Structure 1
């Protein structure tokens, strides 16, 4: 925190939406300089996991799925919502299996990032899953219209600058995990 500045103060909070996917609150906040912002929108979601899965053949396991906000089919690493009390690697193994039919020999947490620290309360946990092998059928949830795609890591890295990955959080997590796996260097 810069010297002499204080954290923002929440003056009040009004619940606007409550459901299993999203809690939306309208807060009245006072900034460190005394300005009052009302409403200041805060969205609470469960934490998410992003799985960067690599096969022994140096293929990246991805999914192509419909994203209603973008109104497009999007290529991205598999992932999903963490269940209460679940650790990131357990969620990653479950989501990788359910979405792609792959299982990994090892999983490790690479880092945890805020999805949008200005307005969202959740974090995205990036998990590197190595030794991923196709082991069976996927078990997708209703509304998960997707296909499993594998790409050579080099092709995926080359595709970064061509717009192959359009989700900013997914791209950031993918790059962090590929660096941790020794596939790219910053």
Structure 2
């Protein structure tokens, strides 16, 4: 087998952090070419969902919320962590959409499952398109979620994407994939 195709070999693993949101391990690995990397940091998170919700009026249901890592208010699609026992990204997406925005969608479909950072993270981001989303008026936000629901025409969101309206690379990628699946964009 060529060097480039050999999987890396785990030599050892040391737990550094164990938390309800994150496990951080320092691994010692041997590459396919025989180099030893120690420590090689690996973070284990639960999978996440990103909900790209469209109303019957072709508006995106977005949230504006504080993001401590960026130290800024950020506009983004709703979403969240898949809880232990959550097997269906669409069911999790429906829950997160309702909890964060009060909206419910008639149709939900999985558009993509992507690695969040395959070099260091073990989790995936599941992009779910939610169509025919309507306001139910029922919110169930968790502690620490300071959100404002924002409705934005899909065309305006696309026009603003290149100007930096969406600050999170994974959110922008998921948004573009879902809008393509909804027939609002082609590439």
Question: Do they fold alike, i.e. is TM over 0.5?
Answer: yes
Q: 1:169 maps to which residue?
A: 170
CA–CA distance in 2 between the matches of 1:78 and 1:104? 13
1:2–1:126 CA distance, 2 compared to 1 (3 A): farther
Residue 154 of structure 1, CA deviation = 0.3
Q: 1:77 maps to which residue?
A: 77
Secondary structure in 1 matching 2:140 = coil
Q: 1:135 maps to which residue?
A: 136
Q: 1:99 maps to which residue?
A: 100
Residue 3 of structure 1, CA deviation = 6.9
Q: 1:60 maps to which residue?
A: 60
CA–CA distance in 1 between the matches of 2:145 and 2:101? 11
Greater than 2 Å deviation, 4+ residue runs: 1-5
Residue 146 of structure 1, CA deviation = 1.1
Secondary structure in 1 matching 2:173 = helix
Output one character per residue of 1:162-184: Cα deviation in whole Å (capped at 9) or x when no partner: 10001000000000000000000
> CA RMSD of the aligned region, Å?
1.2
Residue 138 of structure 1, CA deviation = 1.3
1:32–1:98 CA distance, 2 compared to 1 (3 A): same
CA–CA distance in 2 between the matches of 1:95 and 1:75? 16
State how 1:10-29 maps to structure 2 within 5 Å: 10-29=10-29
TM-score by length of 1: 0.97
Asked if 1:181 is matched to 2:182, the reply is: yes
Q: 2:118 maps to which residue?
A: 117
Secondary structure in 2 matching 1:137 = coil
Residue 46 of structure 1, CA deviation = 0.3
